[in-house]
Amino acid sequence: MTVAVFFDVDDTLLDNYAAFKETLFALSSLASLSEEQMQKLYKNFRFYSELIYKQYYETRFINNINARWQWVTKDLNMASDPLFLEELDDLYHKNQQKQKLSQGYIDLFSFLEKNKVYFGVLTNGLEKTQANKIKQLNLLNYMTPERIFISESLNDAKPNFSCFEKVEQALPKIIDSWIYVGDSFTNDIEPLLNSRWLPVWLNRFNEKVMQDGYIEVKENKEAVMTLRKLIHSENF
């Protein structure tokens, strides 16, 4: 059996939630927010971030990148003048750029390499933006550029299954088992149900869905352990 494992970037390999929390905690009035409150705010932030990218994918135009912060400030009953939203977004990106690839994933990549498993990245987003994140995480130290796929470069985007098919077509035909690890049920998991890909859902926020056909993990350490077991067993 020849296996390929692909990973999402945002909220999977790159911890955007940590950057989001650090951004809001920088505002003294929000320092007492609970984890539950923070997660709720972040879910909304991520939802609107995905809507903005969907708008760009369909129109090649972004109307207002800071609209996602407008919804966050609305939930917090805070003023949302354009300058403040811009400052929030700038601070978020600075905090995002401080995030590193976890040692668990670094060790996993070494394990996959030793076990002759093809592995790479499939991520939604703008080519330049995602390329910067890939550079930030030093992913090219572990995988070749030919195994890194960015939706804008593919002229496609998740949740379209054609996105995954394009990855298949770009890699050796000897691969007969495919695994994908991602955090978004809608974008990363649902399109792979009833396909030859095995989706591994990194469900960090304990979301509830009424479907099956995937493996669920709660955190990165569990994702790493699960992948190691899958590769060892080849029973998937």
pLDDT in tens, 75-127: 888 878 889 899 999 999 999 999 999 999 999 999 999 999 999 999 999 99
pLDDT of residue 28: 66
Query: Which tens digit of pLDDT belongs to each residue from 7-42?
Result: 999 999 999 999 999 999 888 677 778 899 999 999
Predicted confidence (pLDDT) at residue 236 exceeds the cutoff of 60:
no
State how far the Cα of 111 lies from the Cα of 217, in Å rounded to an integer.
19
Query: What value does the mean pLDDT of the chain take?
Result: 92
Which candidate, 156, 155, 131, 157, places its Cα nearest to that of 145?
131
Give the torsion through C-alpha atoms of 206, 210, 212, 216, to 10 deg.
0
3-state secondary structure 11-31: CCCECHHHHHHHHHHCCHHHC
> What integer pLDDT is reported at residue 164 of this predicted model?
98
Q: Contact at 8 Å (CB) between 212 and 227?
A: no
The Cα–Cα gap between 149 and 22 comes to: 29
**Residue 203: is its pLDDT beyond 60?**
yes
Instruction: Decide: helix, strand or coil at residue 104.
Output: helix
pLDDT of residue 61: 63
Q: Is the pLDDT score of 59 beyond 90?
A: no
CA dist., res. 43 & res. 203, Å (int): 12
Distance CA 196, CA 194 (A): 7
Q: What is the pTM of this model?
A: 0.93
> Hey, how many other C-beta atoms are within 10 angstroms of the C-beta on 18?
14
Say what percent of the chain tops pLDDT 70: 95
Name the phi and psi angles at 220, rounded to 5: -60, -40
Preceding amide of 159 cis, omega within 30: yes
> How open is the CA angle 103-104-105, to the nearest 5 degrees?
90
Contact 13, 139 (CB under 8 A): yes
